[in-house]
Structure 1
């Protein structure tokens, strides 16, 4: 015998203990196991087995098996009892001991793989281009009026469409869904309930001014002019084109301008400026300006046609107020109001001393009874960090501890996170329940935001039952509580079919700490695999590409690793079509060498001659 008898007996004892623990947990959680949907019976049991195995340090068993060259792969999590039983059979065979056959009703590796595929298809539909990982795309508002964009996204590889109920309205949602279904009736509609998202309140309106600001280098030299869109009020630039400034003008006056025309005006500081028309569009004109300028309502524009002295005078139409912002630097103080008081920047005296600190309200006043002094607070996806220094009945005082070197800009409707506070916030809001009336009739899957515990899931399932809604549920895991309660959340959700999990890395990173998010992401993926429940990887996947048209190297690698998930979510952006196309290629190529957590080894093409002669 290659391995000593004592060593093999030691391993067999460890396996016996592990299997005994699986049976113990199965009996312990008999009641919740009985309640799951019939299609999840074996999967729920495997989840319980996974929890049993993780109830002690499994690295102990892993090391013992590896000593005799038996790999303890993460893949065993898909069918834990089956794999441990056959480890046991192998050891007993080596010891020349009798062994029994595998008990009935135990899911095998092959069955586990097939179950996950079936559950994924039930949630995301049949995937395009023979991919094993789906692509979910967040729909922009313009999808309600631009069927060409939807057609393009579908052709490029979009498998399912996400609509966020936190934005737009029922009319827009309905139009988006109608366009999608008219082009591809099989495309799944996934609708996010907004949930009890804690955000900053409204700001006071800023001045009604349009700022023209060309790009400069570090030496103050203009390297790129400001790109300006001139059009009648309400006419936005063509799709996939971004303007640095939009100037509302008269339609008839605008038609007289041509490529090469130039507009002379005195801005609000009485400085003479020039805009040159560089491109004609059906509903507007594109111009550029090499100098900074401030334009207000009534600013006189004098357009000169090229090679002629003829000019046309016009006044700028009503301008929209600039979005007010609060600039916060390290050490600054901020007041967070309980009441919906319009936010405002700090006031300063003639010597630049603060006479009134900046203040802004929040959307969930109930948090004020839960927060404490010295607890951290984060704004705008963690871009601005602070600590609570005072807690009052109607406001909090916050000291800013970390932000950008030149100050972070805080605006209305930006996320607020209180990771150390014990907030009693979760479940369905009044708006969620109203939106659910639409979702139940028009969506294939409801995405449940800010779920924290099994009770939240129970409320959602109750509301779906009231509406006779036979749709899928996608659980968005974005808080520390949700992660801690994930096993019970899954068991409760598995009373419905189908079910999925979204790893919402944005809020999750802030809630659990940046240094922990990679580990927590991995833990969630392992739990989902054990439960044969598909999971979606979300937040900032190819974000730079979708928003700016050029990907970063890091996000390409991130997208490649996302192939381990059953679906990947892309957020909207001006270059979303490029992002979908890129993601489709990355996922298709990655599945040739990566199979979930295991590597696939196709034929490697390399230069043999160079290798031989080196």
Structure 2
């Protein structure tokens, strides 16, 4: 028997929420009038959802569950419709027989249709047996290898991502051409997404080390070689496919063509040890050699080839090698100076008795942030691997004490990310490079990924560039800062003035900026806000990272990939095993859609439940 007092309390609470929703709709009427016609109802629903969440909804949900009524747990995309349905049920239980009505309310099928339409417009058609799309970050080799693109498409890639922080317009254009040519005539188009670099705060250059290459075969625990090291040999300027080998030796072109399979190159390394490289095969314009011993090879080293048939010796000289990148090794308690001056960074210097003579120092790529940093602010390096605290903040340098690193030291190298999550940085989203890159993006891509979106102005800056170029593409808003998360509703309303748009949950920087303990709930909230606005979201950063880079996934990666089906798209970063990662992700997403649809739990049939057994065999693809 339903208690009249409880029913009345619930009815009053729902009435208050509906009143708040209508009031907020009036309050933000100007913003709602400015959105694109396609988003008219979606923008209103977003406002209604924010009104709904302005209350202690969890208490209302508990009351509804106690009465075995729907708990409003999946209300995001159709707020007023669901509230009115509950109100109608309550009215009937109270004997009032009153059906609440508000004109123009989105129904559940209508809200699903809007999200489907918006997703298809931005991210392209879904795969035949999979709802969630897969976006793949293309490596440089994609510009030269059409078969690589074709394999990715066959394995399940729906859209390709090109990062403007790497390569150049000539390479980008070749990548795009390869993607377009790889799509069969009958196959739906693979969307092209281009990622603007944005104002990335990174460490500056380190003092260059010696020009040497370390050839290092794989060994087991007993020190025995289990796999020889692969060495790339080619004339200067000819590089191997990305991720193929770690050791690259440029050699003089004069004798290069004489290298044949099974030829042996003998040499002395920097330690005077006699070593050999065996030519294994030819690949593109280079040769792959194998070495079964560790060796250090420096610029100018001579590799000797003995041609037995001709009875002569050929000497191949190793050309200019890149200097070994120096690194700063930091321990908890160590000092570090971050300076404006772009001079090369150096490790700490110690006296013969181990006394610190000069602390480690390094520059950064955005010295303008110095004016926004205060004493006591935390600072993170290299995706949070190193944490410090600002002890002194001067106009020209920051004095930092390291408070978190590995006990035996963590290496800090050049071009590593710097995060200042509690500093109110005034840097804007679009850089001069971004503005120049947008000329190319608007001509060749389907959508632009806008990095470091912090507020409405960052979106307006992009819209202004579109207007100046008299061109426009889809927009994917990358949310990767605390400020971006905080301003997400207003950012969306501004972006909804154009069509189509989406949101990328850039989980790498976002996790550091918002704090590890806070990130899970923040990620959840972004998904909910996007669903309320019927805007597709992209689950990005480190998805199946170990699998893509090392060939073997971790257990936590599999769970993370399974959770990713809640988004409309999942992004994979490049790696030597990216094809394997696409295949695995495709299988995981296909399987998980039997058990979840976004955040709604599904209960598919367990075929052997009547025999007290569990089996998922029927869901194997």
User: TM tier, shorter chain?
Assistant: over 0.9
Q: Tell me the distance in 2 between the aligned counterparts of 1:282 and 1:453.
A: 47
Match of 1:457 in 2: 459
Tell me how far 1:609 sits from its aligned partner. 5.4
Tell me how far 1:431 sits from its aligned partner. 1.4
Tell me how far 1:506 sits from its aligned partner. 0.1
Does structure 1 residue 537 correspond to structure 2 residue 539?
A: yes
Matches within 5 A, 1:239-388: 239=241, 242-251=244-253, 253-279=255-281, 281=283, 283-304=285-306, 312-388=314-390
SS at match of 2:512: helix
SS at match of 1:129: coil
Tell me if structure 1 keeps the 8 A contact 2:87–2:100.
no
Match of 2:50 in 1: 51
Gaps of 5+ in 1: none
Matches within 5 A, 1:16-95: 16-95=15-94
How many residues end up aligned between the 2 structures?
610
Tell me how far 1:525 sits from its aligned partner. 0.5
Cα pair distance change 1:244/1:178, threshold 3 Å: closer
Q: Tell me the distance in 1 between the aligned counterparts of 2:32 and 2:396.
A: 46
Tell me how far 1:540 sits from its aligned partner. 0.4
Tell me how far 1:374 sits from its aligned partner. 2.1
Q: Tell me the distance in 2 between the aligned counterparts of 1:449 and 1:390.
A: 30
Tell me how far 1:550 sits from its aligned partner. 1.6
Match of 2:12 in 1: 13
User: Which stretch shows the higher mean deviation, 599-608 or 575-584?
Assistant: 599-608
Match of 1:391 in 2: 393
SS at match of 1:40: helix
Matches within 5 A, 1:44-193: 44-184=43-183, 186-193=189-196
Tell me if structure 2 keeps the 8 A contact 1:227–1:289.
yes
TM-score for the superposition, normalised by structure 2: 0.93
Matches within 5 A, 1:463-478: 463-478=465-480
User: Which stretch shows the higher mean deviation, 52-61 or 463-472?
Assistant: 463-472
Tell me how far 1:44 sits from its aligned partner. 0.8
Q: Tell me the distance in 2 between the aligned counterparts of 1:365 and 1:401.
A: 23
Cα deviations by residue, 1:120-167 (Å, 9 ceiling, x for unpaired): 111101122242111111111221222221222122211111111111
Match of 2:415 in 1: 413
Q: Tell me the distance in 2 between the aligned counterparts of 1:29 and 1:212.
A: 63
Match of 1:518 among 517, 520, 530: 520
Cα deviations by residue, 1:224-279 (Å, 9 ceiling, x for unpaired): 44332333323333x47632312222456455555544333222222233334444
Tell me if structure 2 keeps the 8 A contact 1:257–1:305.
no
State the Cα RMSD in Å. Answer: 2.3
Tell me how far 1:418 sits from its aligned partner. 0.4
Match of 1:206 among 179, 201, 209: 209
Tell me how far 1:451 sits from its aligned partner. 0.6
Q: Tell me the distance in 2 between the aligned counterparts of 1:256 and 1:142.
A: 26
Match of 1:194 among 194, 197, 220: 197
Cα pair distance change 1:306/1:477, threshold 3 Å: farther
Tell me how far 1:220 sits from its aligned partner. 5.6
Cα pair distance change 1:181/1:65, threshold 3 Å: same
Tell me how far 1:345 sits from its aligned partner. 2.4
Cα deviations by residue, 1:387-437 (Å, 9 ceiling, x for unpaired): 112212211122222223432222222111001111111231111111111
Cα deviations by residue, 1:285-344 (Å, 9 ceiling, x for unpaired): 433334332211222223356999975443322322222322222222222111222222
TM-score for the superposition, normalised by structure 1: 0.94
Match of 1:227 among 227, 230, 235: 230
Tell me how far 1:216 sits from its aligned partner. 4.5
Tell me how far 1:219 sits from its aligned partner. 6.3
Cα deviations by residue, 1:541-577 (Å, 9 ceiling, x for unpaired): 1111111112222111111110110001111111111
Tell me if structure 1 keeps the 8 A contact 2:511–2:519.
yes
Matches within 5 A, 1:547-562: 547-562=549-564
Tell me how far 1:356 sits from its aligned partner. 2.5
Q: Tell me the distance in 2 between the aligned counterparts of 1:225 and 1:48.
A: 61
Cα pair distance change 1:522/1:210, threshold 3 Å: same
Q: Tell me the distance in 2 between the aligned counterparts of 1:280 and 1:431.
A: 39
Cα deviations by residue, 1:469-492 (Å, 9 ceiling, x for unpaired): 232111100000011111111111
